[in-house]
Structure 1
């Protein structure tokens, strides 16, 4: 769906939550193939059984990618991703875990380029138990209405 949400339209403390998505073994195998990260923590069930978590864990970068994708349900024609900051992997995600994402607007500030503002979204990813597993700040570069 296409939309136009300008800098002025974003409200502090506004939030949205996604539906859930279950992480599968196929997700992990495909991500390993795409990234070249075949570390045993993700791929070797026998070795993982000897480790503290006792099972394979999803790549942090997989959870980040899936979480970001889960939030991309609209195409905003007047804003774009400026970057991500303060990415943290808080707890492991295992095969069969279901994650959902909450996005909250936490900051708005002027951009050095006239006609634009920066909007910071705090992205929190939770597992099915409500445990925070990943978080980051997503920075958006948004057009201002005055220039539209």
Structure 2
């Protein structure tokens, strides 16, 4: 592992995984709404949320999904990673106070193209709330050293 660039493509292997977790707060919903401009009442207004099929306010799906990006950019492969593609299936709502755990697992390493494919999943307790797959461009030690 290169501490400045995370794991290089040459260091990755199928089955490697990493995760992070965060408890979603009311403040997170307000801040995410401000950044994303998604002020849908189902995220912002408990009273309105109670009138929906969810029976209360829910977090923005992309707020929970952003934890996947945090794992990819900070842990596996880590700094220097470039996101290329992400599929997401939203399976269950996340509510303020829920702790979301995002986990990524290396599914395929394409060393000649510096690409890595990872399974991505977010859970609250034992319940899968989001799953999908990411494709990334990883850093390469060989390419970095060849450029010196």
Instruction: Give the TM-score, by structure 2 length.
Output: 0.81
User: Where in structure 2 are the equivalents of 1:63-74 lying within 5 Å?
Assistant: 63-74=64-75
- CA, structure 1 residues 17+110, in 2 after alignment: closer, same or farther (shift >3 Å)? closer
- CA, structure 1 residues 142+71, in 2 after alignment: closer, same or farther (shift >3 Å)? closer
Deviation for aligned residue 1:123:
1.6
- Structure 1 partner of 2:123: 126
Aligned length: 141
Richer in strand (by share): 1
Secondary structure (helix, strand or coil) at the match of 2:74 reads: coil
Secondary structure (helix, strand or coil) at the match of 1:94 reads: coil
Q: Spell out, residue by residue over 1:89-112, the C-alpha distance to the aligned partner (whole angstroms, 9 max, x if none).
A: 11110000001121100012255x
- Structure 1 partner of 2:104: 103
- CA, structure 1 residues 110+73, in 2 after alignment: closer, same or farther (shift >3 Å)? closer
- Structure 1 partner of 2:132: 136
Richer in helix (by share): 2
Conserved? CA contact 2:71–2:78, under 8 Å: no
Secondary structure (helix, strand or coil) at the match of 2:94 reads: coil
Conserved? CA contact 1:85–1:136, under 8 Å: yes
Instruction: Give the TM-score, by structure 1 length.
Output: 0.81
Unpaired segments ≥5 residues, structure 1: none
Deviation for aligned residue 1:17:
2.7
Deviation for aligned residue 1:71:
4.9
In 2, distance between residues paired with 1:110 and 1:73? 20
In 1, distance between residues paired with 2:109 and 2:22? 30
Unpaired segments ≥5 residues, structure 2: none
Q: Spell out, residue by residue over 1:84-141, the C-alpha distance to the aligned partner (whole angstroms, 9 max, x if none).
A: 3212211110000001121100012255xxxx421112121111x2111112322221
Q: RMSD between aligned alpha carbons?
A: 2.3
- CA, structure 1 residues 8+30, in 2 after alignment: closer, same or farther (shift >3 Å)? same
- Structure 1 partner of 2:61: 60
Runs of 4+ displaced beyond 4 Å: 74-77
Conserved? CA contact 1:25–1:95, under 8 Å: yes
